[in-house]
Amino acid sequence: MALNENLRLLPQRTMRSLLISLSHRRSLARVAVRSPLTRPIVARFVAGETLQEALPAILALKRAGLHTTVDVLGESVGSRDQAAAAVDRYLATIAALSERDLDPNVSLKLTQMGLEIDRSCCLENVMRVVEAVRGVSGFVRFDMENHTMTDATLEVWRAAHEVYPGVGVVIQAALRRSSADVDSIIAAHGRVRLCKGAYDEPASVAYRTRSAVDANYARLMERLLVADVQPAIATHDPRLIAKAISIVEREGIGRDRFEFQMLYGVRRDLQRTLMDRGYQVRIYVPYGTEWYPYFMRRLAERPANVTIFGESAGSLDVHVPLASP
């Protein structure tokens, strides 16, 4: 039986857990990044391995009327030198975006800045990026990693946000604690990107069913929209998008007071639909050689996509019409 057929037989949650587990396997990462077979597939999710490869993709999105946030891929570095090198890549990216009149908007992971090595070192590195973003009147968002990093991520975010308000953070609807975290961030006039969550978290800290995660997402989304703190609604789920549109129309919330965010290469049909309806849409554009963990989490979010390894990458865009609000 073919590998893809074996994979199809696995329960979805088992597949998700397996893919997330494999995302941490450095030995598999080394094989994957060297294989020419993976490149056409990965190119659907990742704009390139270098800044020069990514810039044309970012420019094309701008010309199409879409906004962008750029992620220089990398996480869980093992040394201060690696963290410093990651900072340098971000500084070069911010400069290149500004010089080309592209959105000086970036997203980063704190473990890439050295969070697991030394928190003070991480904060120093983060502030170098924040100062560069402030210098071009840009924006930086701290991605949220697994639940063990939540407190530290919010602590660093608060410190950076006090220095420059153009610093946002991600909140994951899958985590049980997120309701309290959203209230705290709203009180600090912070900007949240709300996502469902891409990590396989234990039931003690996270909702484990799709219905529970979706229900919490809808609650948090309404709270953020009504609070008028320029939230980013990060989802490809047409039902939640329709719910967001229903809320903003009911409450009379201007379309400049929030935005939808989607991943590069995912649901391009939905991106276009929202943009054509006059909503702000920002695309999360990753680039870099450290694409393996990111790629595996994208597969884990929709395990059925694992079958693309034996099919055309074009099969990723499944048309699901946007429900009427």
Return the beta strands (E) in the chain as ranges: 67-72, 105-109, 139-143, 167-172, 191-195, 232-234, 259-263, 281-287
Say how far apart CA 316 and CA 266 lie, in whole Å: 7
Catalytic position from the list 89, 141, 191, 193: 193
Our answer to whether residue 269 is catalytic in this structure is no
Residues 48, 64: Cα–Cα separation, whole Å? 19
- Interior CA angle at 148 toward 143 and 150, to 5°? 45
Cα 63 to chain center, whole Å? 22
Catalytic residue among 71, 143, 181, 200: 143
Half-sphere exposure at residue 248, Cβ-oriented, CA atoms within 13 angstroms: 22
Residue from 82, 167, 165, 157 nearest 123 by CA:
157
214 is catalytic: no
Residues belonging to the active site: 143, 193
